[in-house]
Amino acid sequence: MTDRGMVFCHEGGGGPPILLLHGFPETSLMWHGIAPLLAGDFTVVAADLPGYGRSDCPVDSENHEAMSKRALASILVEAMKALGHETFAIIGHDRGGRVAYRAALDHPDRVTAVAVLDVIPTYEVWERADARLALAFWPFSLLAQPAPLPERLLLAAPEAFIDNALSEWGSPPEAFPSWLREAYVTALSDSAHVHAICEEYRAASGIDREIDRADLETGRRIRCPLLALWSDKGGLAAWYDDAGGPLGLWRHWAEDVRGHAVSGGHFFPEVQPNATAGAISAFLRSGRSTSP
């Protein structure tokens, strides 16, 4: 429990704490194959993002600030403190990756390491947006539209949205067992949470971009080590060669960046749990180096 509502999480294992954050349209259940692999060496906390899954929905605020990555990061830092973890590493996929790097920027004394899975900074996404983004990653623009249009669309056919994501974003549908798909559909069927999710996308298109821009213009950078992993089949692998790819982009934002592509489509953590867990574990054990 935090001052801004309850954060639902699973906790297990033993050792240095790590916080696992999911993306859209998933919940903390996305880590079901990875968390047990990490729990032998780390205390693993897999949380539903505020406004997602079984976590409480923040109260609406002006400019969608309540679902900004800054606000979500602050809530999760408070939740980790309530669990007894003053410092910890964060691993985030998709939307969770955006919350993860914001936490590393805003709470450098709390975040010891950060891994961002299949994302680049939100500011960079919008500055470089083109037809490829609009067609391939439709949630960025569709879910950021004013209420209530995207909410009504999601609630009218949650199964269709889940099926599209799990089968059309580069990952094989068979990687998602029926119980998991059903859990994701259920999570996308609640009106309050669907509204919060859309508010999070609206925040990404506005206030998050401005917060990122301010950091970039003032030279504020992530001080802890950063691992970037991305799908070898997706847009991140092909769209940003002019900037040196995902690693080139992240080096504008962080002092110590390393990473590589992973097979398995956008949801590679679920398709390749062993490889993903191995990369995360090796990164967290590697200390502060400057490997390319």
Q: What is the pLDDT of residue 289?
A: 38
Q: How many CB atoms lie within 10 A of CB 114?
A: 25
Q: What is the pLDDT of residue 287?
A: 66
Rg (CA), the chain: 17
pTM of the model: 0.96
pLDDT tens digits for 165-213? Answer: 999 999 999 999 999 999 999 999 999 999 999 999 999 999 999 999 9
Q: What is the pLDDT of residue 281?
A: 98
Q: C-alpha angle 17/20/26, rounded to 5°?
A: 160
56, 94, 212, 215: the catalytic one is: 94
Q: How many CB atoms lie within 10 A of CB 84?
A: 9
Q: What is the pLDDT of residue 288?
A: 43
pLDDT tens digits for 30-41? Answer: 999 999 999 999
CA distance 261 to 123: 21
DSSP character string of 200-236: HHHHHHTHHHHHHHHHHHHT--B-S-EEEEEETTSHH
Q: Are 170 and 233 in contact (CB under 8 A)?
A: yes
Q: What is the pLDDT of residue 64?
A: 98
Residue 94 annotated as catalytic? yes
CA distance 140 to 129: 10
Q: At what angle do helices 207-218 and 191-205 cross, to 10 degrees?
A: 40
Q: What is the pLDDT of residue 290?
A: 35
Residue 195 annotated as catalytic? no
Q: pLDDT tens digits, the chain, 292 residues: what are they?
A: 888 899 999 999 999 999 999 999 999 999 999 999 999 999 999 999 999 999 999 999 999 999 999 999 999 999 999 999 999 999 999 999 999 999 999 999 999 999 999 999 999 999 999 999 988 889 999 999 999 999 999 999 999 999 999 999 999 999 999 999 999 999 999 999 999 999 999 999 999 999 999 999 999 999 999 999 999 989 999 999 999 999 999 999 999 999 999 999 999 999 999 999 999 999 999 864 333 3
HSE value, Cβ hemisphere, 13 Å, CA-based, for 187: 29
Chain mean pLDDT for the chain = 95
| Amino acid identity at 186 | T
